[in-house]
Amino acid sequence: MSNIGNSNNITRNYLDSLLIETRYINSTNPRLDFELFGERFASPIMTAALSHLEHFMFPGAAEALAKGAADANAVLWYGMADDEEIDQLASINPKMIEIIKPYTDRELIHSKIKHAEKKNLLAVGIDIDHPFGEDGSPDNVDGYEMTAIRTEELAEICAGTKLPVIAKGVLSVHDAEKCLKAGVSGMVLSHHNNRIEFAIPPLRILPKILDVVKGAIPVFVDDEIKTGMDAFKALALGAAGVCIGRPLMTAIKDDIENGVCAYFQKANAELGKAMAYTGCTDLSKMDPTVIHTI
């Protein structure tokens, strides 16, 4: 199969094209701690919203992800799951953000949000980038049909819950403006693991979206974030946090007990090194001018 147009490859190449300049004078050991929706975490490196881990991996994989994130004091994002699985993960790591698909049955969306409220989750989100299948027809996942979210529906979702609502899958100024109008509490820039070919890399569109957001809500970055250096590049360019996905699946396969926590610790150390070498002494001191393109 040809890799031409593969959005993961395009994103990876863009990330690798970003270079950093060093700034040692007056730098100190950096602080990585990060606050989100009233909770404090070890760093802004978080899990991606993985899902179906029992199917793609093995029993216990989802619990290992939740436990590893809890041990590392990292935000746990999780994707499509039934209420019983959400209950299990929330009992392991209550600092959790559940991402909900754009079900054609909108009542199912509201029902899942009500359940998330009962479990006192950190936030909920809507996968705005998952309404269509590969041929452009309505997507169908596990027997559930999907339909694109309208601005007024997203506004109704935001107004109808006490939880912060995050729009996941934003990759344009157009959608950013609609999400802001609807009242979301955050956005994740993502092409959802090559959901569409030739997608613009999230970090390339990030500055334009930040111009629209103007600091009103946090903007997170997904896709091909694998290391603390990748995280540093995103944070320096203005992202509030980053999500790591597939590398954590490998970490679980390699060490189901401690792999996830160890991966976070390594990534945090890499982030801390990059911050120290560039004079970014805490997250409020991140500076996009240390980033250059080839």
Average pLDDT over residues 76-103: 96
Which of 96-100, 164-168, 194-198, 275-279 has the lowest average pLDDT? Answer: 194-198
> Looking at the DSSP assignment, which residues form a beta bridge with residue 99?
125
pTM, rounded to two decimals? 0.96
Span 220-241, average pLDDT: 98
Which pLDDT band, with edges at 50, 70 and 90, does 2 fall under? low
Q: How confident is the model at residue 200 (pLDDT cuts 50, 70, 90)?
A: very high
Specify if 187 maps to a domain. Answer: yes
What is the pLDDT averaged over residues 241-263?
Answer: 97
Which of these is catalytic: 52, 130, 191, 192? 192
Q: How crowded is residue 151: how many other Cβ atoms within 10 Å of its Cβ?
A: 13
The answer as to whether 55 is a domain residue is: yes
Residue 2 belongs to a domain = no
CB of 74 within 8 A of CB of 264? yes
Query: Which range is least confidently modeled, 34-43, 175-184, 191-200?
Result: 191-200
Q: Per the domain annotation, does 192 fall within a domain? A: yes
Does a structural domain hold residue 86? yes
pLDDT over 70 (residue 177): yes
- How far is CA 120 from each of CA 13, 97, 114, 117, 155, rounded to the nearest angstrom? 39, 10, 10, 5, 21
Whether 55 is catalytic: no
Q: Which helix (H) or strand (E) holds 97?
A: strand 96-100
Task: Tell me the C-alpha distance between 27 and 280, whole Å.
Answer: 7
Tens digit of each residue's pLDDT (9 = 90 or more) over 106-136: 999 999 999 999 999 999 999 999 999 989 9
CATH number at residue 253: 3.20.20.70
Residues above pLDDT 70, as percent of the chain: 99
**H-helix or E-strand spanning residue 109:** helix 106-118
- Structural domain of residue 59, as residue ranges? 7-288
pLDDT of residue 134: 87
| Residue 143 within any structural domain of the chain | yes
Mean pLDDT confidence for 234-254:
97
pLDDT at 1: 43
Asked whether residue 44 carries a pLDDT value surpassing 90, the answer given is yes
In a domain, 111, yes or no: yes
When divided into structural domains, the chain yields a total of 1
As a whole number, the mean pLDDT across the chain is 96
- Is position 268 within any domain? yes
